[in-house]
Chains A and B, each alone.
Chain A
Amino acid sequence: MPSSQGQAVKKTKNHVSEPRKALTIPYAAFLVLFVIFPILLIFFYAFTDKQGNFTLQNFQDVFAGDASNATFKVIGTSLGVAALTTVICIILAYPIAYILANSKYNKNKIVVYLFLLPMWINFVIRTTATRDMLLLIGIDYRTMPWVTSIIGMVYNYLPFAILPLYNTMLKLDKSQIEAAADLGANPFDVFVKTIIPMTIPGIVSAITMTFMPTMSSYVITDALSGRTITLIGGLIENKFLLSQLNVGSVYAILMLILIGASVVFERHFTEQGGKR
């Protein structure tokens, strides 16, 4: 008797849960049609010409002869700008996040909001304002495009680096830090051997939050370098404006490869962080 009752309950439960599962169908259809299928189309377009015939011409346009130098220069520039921006963002964001999350220094959440507030100003307006303000204090984007571009990038992505670091630091186990200090570790050792290992997940997500978007933020480098620094994103936009979607797809694939590599990097380090 009890077992049959159990089955009856199970049956009604399944019966109830079916329509709830179905709620995900429109969302799944949306993802397939507007996210996954378009990415597959990029691969299709990269290997075909405008008439839809198979060709490797698009890859030749990007990698053959002189074009390959230009392409690799842009890839190098993108990686360089992204790496420099990320390093500066982490160096600045780390102490900020630590201080904001530490109740010894800051008990007020409003200061955290103050760091996020500029994000709500339209970013094109913000970038323009940065350019003009730097010009005003003598940092000219026409003579120092690298300096202004990196300042603009750091300015834009600093909040994205602060947030994940701040969130991990809030959960920091303070007793471990105190224990290390009590047991005779000097402040440097405390920092390197207890605080940094505990915040690795935050550091990794701060890196991915700044590194990846930087490579495609061609709008910032366009405005702050007077179009002298080109990123991969800028090449894709250029091909879009020229309606050369097939060659643009090749650049998009390059970008996807870089994204894939950074996802692998993130997985590797977050898993290590989880094992600790």
Chain B
Amino acid sequence: MNKQNLNVNENNDLLLKKNKVVNYTADETNALLVKKENRAKRKKFGALFFVWFMLILLYLPIVYLVVYSFTDAKVVGQWTGFGVKSYTLLFNPKNKDSLKLWEATWNTIWVAALSSVLSTILGTLGAVGMHFLGKKLKTAMNVATQIPIVNAEIVMALSLVILFVFLGLPTSAFSLIIGHMVLTIPFVVINVQPKLEQMDPSLYEAALDLGATRKDAFFKVMIPDILPGILSGFMISLTLSLDDYVITEFTKPTSSNFNTISTYVQSTLAKGNIPIQLKAFSTILFLFIVAAMIGYSVYNYKQSKKI
């Protein structure tokens, strides 16, 4: 009996220890709650500190460009007092480097615009057609669509150069546009596809039943339905094309001194120091991007409020 009692007592002790059953007074409970709250606050502060610290690191090179665009020094990191020479040079129509930079900018823009529009049209039509294909053909097309996404850009660039050599054609504006389309078209397709799957197929059929021509049903029923996917495919195409270096370097026209911003900056880098107006140019570009971003956010915010 005695032994059993002892055992029970021991067990109780153990249970108490394991579950830490302690009787708290109200004050003690409050103190614990405050402690818990403080711990959560500290955790949140730590998390936000980390995120903002990373953001500052990410923006350091850009801040460097912006700050050092306001000094006339050519050497990296040298500050020779405040100056706006980089800006006046950039807008000086007689400066050769600035002219080349603006020409490269114009080339970058039209190549991106043209290749993105063509990719968007061809890719959207492709995605719509694929949506109605049989299972085997659809899988084959999906695999083919993945190739340019998975493949290394430089392998595609080399393969296109080989294709044009094989066909006996020199690289030209045509090969450049083709190169950018290869880069961007799969992203149009994979952005349109989910919208097609969400689409209500009976709407298109209904339009046809009610006497719409196929063209009308396609442009007035199907396209508006999948428009968000088309637009995001177009935006990704623009982004990829504007930023591209490798495919541009390989497929750009060899005959003339054709450059986009990427290839122009890379070629000046190879020669040594970059011209100082490039810093002014980058600053303006950055402000332009920030403005576009703010505009887009405001637009999104207003759209979400409407709904």
A contact set with B: CB distance below 8 Å:
13, 16-17, 19-28, 30-32, 34-39, 41-42, 45, 92, 95-96, 99-100, 104-106, 110-111, 113-115, 117-126, 128-130, 132-133, 135-136, 155, 158, 212-213, 215-216, 218-219, 223, 233, 236-237, 240, 245, 248-249, 252, 255-256, 259, 263
Contact = CB atoms under 8 A, between A and B. Distances in A.
A27 B59 CA distance: 40
Contacts of B126: 23-24, 26-28, 30
A254 to B, nearest CB: 10
B65 interface: yes
B221 interface: no
A13 to B, nearest CB: 8
Contacts of A17: 132
Interface of B: 44, 47-48, 50-51, 54-55, 58-62, 64-65, 68, 76-77, 122-123, 125-133, 141, 144-145, 147-148, 150-163, 165-166, 178, 181-182, 185, 189, 205, 208, 214, 239, 242-243, 245-246, 249-250, 261-262, 265-266, 269, 274, 278, 282, 285-286, 289-290, 293, 297
Contacts of B150: 212, 259, 263
A129 B48 contact: no
Contact of A132 (B64, B132, B133): B64
B191 to A, nearest CB: 14
27 contacts: A20-B128, A21-B132, A26-B126, A27-B123, A27-B129, A28-B126, A31-B141, A31-B144, A31-B147, A34-B160, A35-B148, A39-B155, A41-B159, A42-B159, A99-B51, A105-B44, A117-B290, A120-B289, A125-B282, A128-B269, A129-B65, A135-B77, A215-B152, A216-B154, A237-B249, A252-B155, A255-B154
Given A113-B297, A133-B64, A213-B153, A23 B128 contact: yes
B144 A233 contact: no
Contacts of B128: 20, 23-24
Nearest to A231: B154
